[in-house]
Amino acid sequence: MKPRWENLAFATAAVFVALAFTSLVLVTAGASPFEAYWYMLKGSLGSWSKISDVLVAWVPLLLATAGLLITFAAGLWNIGVEGQIVLGGIFTTWVLRLLQDSTLSPAFILILAIAAGALGGALWAALAGVLKVFGGVNEIFGGLGLDFVAVALTLWLIFGPWKRPGIGSMSGTEPFPKELWLPTIPGSRLSLWALFIGLVSIAIVYFLLSGTYFGLKLKAVGKNPRAAYLLGIPTTRYLMMAFVLSGLFAGLAGAVQVTAVYHRLIPAISSGYGWLGLMVSMLINFQPAWAAPVTFFFAALNIGSIQLPIVLKLDSSLSGVLQGALVLSFLLMGGVRQRWLKKHQQEASDD
Q: Which of 144, 306, 331, 332 binds another protein (CB under 8 A)?
A: 306
Task: Give the contact letters, 192-211, x = binds to another protein (CB under 8 A), - = no.
Answer: -------------------x
Q: Which part of the chain contacts another protein (CB under 8 A), choosing from 83-91, 92-100, 122-130, 149-157?
A: 149-157
- C-alpha–C-alpha distance, residues 176 and 273, integer Å: 23
Q: What are phi and psi of 273, to 5 degrees?
A: -65, -25
Q: Which of residues 60-79 bind another protein (CB under 8 A)?
A: 60-61
By C-beta, is 28 or 345 nearer to another protein? 345
Q: Which of 10, 21, 77, 141 binds another protein (CB under 8 A)?
A: 10
Q: Where are the beta strands (DSSP E) in 27-108?
A: none
Nearest to 132, CA basis, from 217, 239, 215, 235: 239
- C-alpha–C-alpha distance, residues 309 and 317, integer Å: 9
Kindly determine how many residues on this chain lie close enough to bind another protein according to the rule CB under 8 A. Answer: 98
- C-alpha–C-alpha distance, residues 59 and 302, integer Å: 13
- Total number of residues shown for the chain: 351
By C-beta, is 103 or 343 nearer to another protein? 343
Q: Which part of the chain contacts another protein (CB under 8 A), choosing from 16-24, 167-175, 193-201, 243-251?
A: 167-175
Our finding on whether 145 is near another protein (CB under 8 A) is no
Our finding on whether 272 is near another protein (CB under 8 A) is yes
- Please return the burial class of 90, using the count of CB atoms within 10 Å of its CB with bins 0-12, 13-18 and 19+: buried
Our finding on whether 338 is near another protein (CB under 8 A) is no
Q: Which of 27, 104, 200, 230 binds another protein (CB under 8 A)?
A: 230
Residue 194, classed as helix, strand or coil, is: helix
